[in-house]
Amino acid sequence: MGSAKSVKIGGLVFGGGAPVRVESMLKTPLEDADGCLAELGGLAEAGCELVRVAFPREELRGNLSELTQKSPIPVMADIHFNYRYALAALDCGCGSVRINPGNMGGRDGLMEVLSAAKSLSAVIRIGSNGGSLSAKQLESSGDDRALALVKAVEEQLIPLVDAGFEDVIISAKSSSVPETVRANALLAQRYPFPLHVGITEAGPGVDGAVKSAVGLGVLLSQGIGDTMRVSLTGESKAEVDTAYAIQRALGLRQRGVELISCPCCGRRRIDVPELVVKVKSLLPEGLPDGTTIAVMGCEVNGPKEAAAADLGIAGTAKGFVLFKKGKTVATGGEDDLEEILASFLEGQ
């Protein structure tokens, strides 16, 4: 479903029924130009479609210009407190900027930014964050933090719409899943603009991935969200991988190989965790997106439970059985496993 309106950044459509785009943000400071380009290359390879970069000082415009020229994906500049930084970012070739209209130095500064963005067909992203809600916003919302997030977005959105600027992406993020879900549901009901969704400051590792998956899964399953970022404490590539895993689980987009494996029980006839590692190491490059590989511990939850897999392996009393779409294609003992498995994987 997604938003009614759409915008374009670098020729890529956001909203209006387009695929839910996957974003990340450079963790490398802009001062380190080579490091930024290296990180960008890894993100592009992982499937990132838009990258945000902090632009805290005008003296870094040379680095930003180099970044936009060499980046394989569109760049959005993250701007705070000074409208001149936004103007500089647009001049450096950024196809979009993230701003807070309330701290752009007054109406005149904001109007300059809108005029420049319009002339360059650039997109402006605005939004609220649970950590920056004001006492006034909370009081006017009856301490309903989700509603305060919505009001904070509206305070930023109204000046743009009143000025006739509608190439906008809006967002409302919190580290609280319930707050974020409710705020975005309200925004989706009220406004037709593309929504950027995410659970901000989700944290590290499993906790961060789970928190993001729960919040984003609820929103995306209801058709709310046009572009997403998984905000993890760690490498930016992990954010992209997790975002695609969430979309894959919801059946929204298929990128890379989906590996299905059983949780193991006393019936298992094969070392599933060890086999999963081995299968991953044998996967050839270039497998079609959406290819499904299953690793199952026994005949009970093997070919039947993983019948839809493009290729699967299950332990048996005598070794293993290899199956494609639920049909047995090979059997063998454990000594033959790696050779037979490798030959079938290469044929996928």
What would the DSSP string read from start to end of 100-114?
-GGGSSSHHHHHHHH
* pLDDT over 90 (residue 345): no
Instruction: List, by residue range, all CATH 3.20.20.20 domains of the chain.
Output: 6-250
Q: Give the relative orientation of helices 33-46 and 236-250 as an angle to the nearest 10 degrees.
A: 20
pLDDT at residue 302, as a whole number: 75
pLDDT of 227 higher than 70:
yes
Domain with CATH 3.30.413.10 in the chain: 258-346
Task: Assess whether pLDDT exceeds 80 at residue 301.
Answer: no
Lowest mean pLDDT among 135-139, 169-173, 298-302: 298-302
Q: Which fold has domain 258-346?
A: Sulfite Reductase Hemoprotein; domain 1 (3.30.413)
Top-confidence residue, 11 or 306: 11
Assign 297 a pLDDT band (cuts: 50, 70, 90).
confident
Residue 224 contacts residue 195 (beta carbons within 8 Å): yes
Phi-psi sector, 256: left (phi>0), alpha (psi -120 to 50), beta: left
Predicted local confidence at residue 29, as pLDDT: 97
Comparing 84-88, 161-165, 286-290, which segment has the lowest mean pLDDT? 286-290
- In this prediction, residue 348 carries a pLDDT of 60
Would you state the structure tokens that stand for residue 177, as one six-digit string? 């899943």
Write the DSSP string, 185-234: HHHHHH--S-EEE--TT-BSHHHHHHHHHHHHHHHHHTT--SEEE--BSS
How far, in whole angstroms, is CA 96 from its chain's centroid?
Answer: 17
Structure confidence by residue, pLDDT tens digits, 101-149: 888 878 899 999 999 999 999 999 999 999 889 999 999 999 999 999 9
Report whether pLDDT(344) > 90. no
Q: What is the pTM of this model?
A: 0.91
Q: Is 338's pLDDT higher than 90?
A: no
* Residue 305: pLDDT over 90: no
Task: Compute the distance between CA of residue 117 and CA of residue 100 in angstroms, rounded to an integer.
Answer: 15
What integer pLDDT is reported at residue 190 of this predicted model? 97
What confidence score (pLDDT) does residue 347 get? 67
Confidence of residue 319 (pLDDT cuts 50, 70, 90): confident
Is the pLDDT higher at 24 or at 328?
A: 24
Half-sphere exposure of 300 (CA within 13 A, CB side): 10
| pLDDT for 307 beyond 70 | yes
Q: Which secondary structure element, helix H or strand E, spans residue 304, and what is its range? A: none
Ramachandran angles phi, psi of 74, nearest 5°: -60, 145
* pLDDT cut 70: percent of the chain above it: 99
Average predicted confidence (pLDDT) for the chain: 93
Rounded distance between C-alpha atoms, residue 329 and residue 251, angstroms: 28
Q: Which CATH architecture has domain 6-250?
A: Alpha-Beta Barrel (3.20)
pLDDT at 282: 83
| Pairwise CA distance, residues 171 & 173, whole Å | 6
* Least confident residue range of 16-25, 80-89, 337-346: 337-346
Q: Average pLDDT for residues 147-171, to the nearest whole number?
A: 96
Are 208 and 202 in contact by the 8 Å Cβ rule? The answer is yes
DSSP state of 144: -
243-268: b (≥16 Cβ within 10 Å) or e: bbbbbbeeeebebbbbeebbeeeeeb
pLDDT confidence of residue 78: 97
